[in-house]
């Protein structure tokens, strides 16, 4: 079953939208001024408190000092830490040891070499992306033989989710600009994205059962 994360929340109404849609995770981009979605630790903590029970929060950090990430995770009340810069295995292990939280690591996918690095990462989860909020997808054909569960990001929209779930079977999809209008979160798009993931996952599960039934019939 593919799950969904809505990333880059920074307004109170963004929380209202996700509370209605009920994705599995949301993401707060913390102290990354290059993004218009960036918020500080205090704002993230306040928004986290508005989240409905059952929705988990990931903090997204780009090349921030480990001690800052650790402090932010504690003050915000995060459920996961997502490292989206040039952090290495030592950074991942340090943050995990100090916070006790799962650590996700993002990788820009341009080639098989990028996938090889993702494959051996000590992160609890890996995220395959095109870049820092580019709003475009990488070449999905690169992950055809990838053997590790992953979060898929980059260029996803409510319209493209069914194809991604059906073809790639990611552990989770991660959307930000794909559920925005004029650079802010759009309620209708968020609702549509969550609905598309749920329906796509159900269809993929049904297809898998159908293939198993067909295979069983053919061997009898």
Parse the chain into domains and list their residue ranges.
3-130+141-219
pLDDT tens digit string along 93-140? 999 999 999 999 999 998 999 999 999 999 999 999 987 555 678 888
| pLDDT over 70 at 72, yes or no | yes
CA–CA dist 77, 54 (Å, integer): 14
Reply yes or no on whether the pLDDT at 208 is more than 80.
no
Q: What is the pLDDT of residue 135?
A: 66
User: For 193-205, what is each residue's pLDDT tens digit?
Assistant: 999 999 987 776 5
Query: What was the pLDDT predicted at 31?
Result: 98
Q: Is the pLDDT of residue 214 over 70?
A: no
Report pTM. Answer: 0.90
| Domain boundaries 3-130+141-219, CATH class | alpha beta
Q: What pLDDT, on a 0 to 100 scale, did the predictor assign at position 24?
A: 98
Which pLDDT tens digit goes with each residue over 157-185?
A: 999 999 999 989 999 999 999 999 999 99
Give the model's confidence band at 206: pLDDT under 50 very low, under 70 low, under 90 confident, else very high.
Answer: low
Q: What is the pLDDT of residue 207?
A: 57
> CA-CA distance, 95 to 116, in Å (whole number)?
23
What is the reported pLDDT for 202?
Answer: 74
pLDDT at 201: 79
Task: Tell me the two tokens of residue 40.
Answer: 């500080």
pLDDT tens string 15-69: 999 999 999 999 999 999 999 999 999 999 999 999 999 999 999 999 999 999 9
């Amino acid at each position: 079953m593919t799950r969904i994360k809505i990333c880059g929340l920074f307004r109170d109404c963004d929380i209202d939208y996700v509370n209605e849609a009920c994705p599995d995770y949301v993401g707060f981009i913390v102290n990354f001024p290059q993004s218009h979605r960036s918020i500080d630790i205090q704002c993230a903590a306040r928004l986290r408190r508005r989240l409905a029970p059952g929705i988990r929060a990931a903090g997204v950090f780009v090349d921030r000092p480990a001690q800052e990430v650790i402090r932010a995770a504690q003050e915000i009340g995060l459920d996961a830490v997502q490292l989206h810069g040039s952090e290495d295995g030592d950074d991942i292990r340090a943050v995990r040891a100090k916070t006790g939280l799962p650590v996700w690591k993002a990788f820009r996918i341009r080639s098989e070499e990028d996938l090889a690095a993702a494959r051996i990462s000590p992160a609890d989860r890996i995220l395959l992306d095109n870049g820092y909020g580019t709003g475009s997808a990488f070449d999905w054909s690169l992950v055809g033989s990838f053997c590790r569960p992953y979060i898929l990001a980059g260029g996803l929209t409510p319209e493209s989710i069914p194809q991604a779930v059906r073809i790639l079977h990611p552990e989770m999809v991660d959307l930000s600009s794909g559920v925005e209008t004029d650079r802010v979160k759009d309620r209708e798009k968020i609702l549509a994205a969550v609905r598309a993931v749920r329906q796509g996952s159900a269809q993929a599960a049904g297809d898998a059962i159908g293939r198993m039934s067909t295979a069983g019939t053919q061997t009898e």
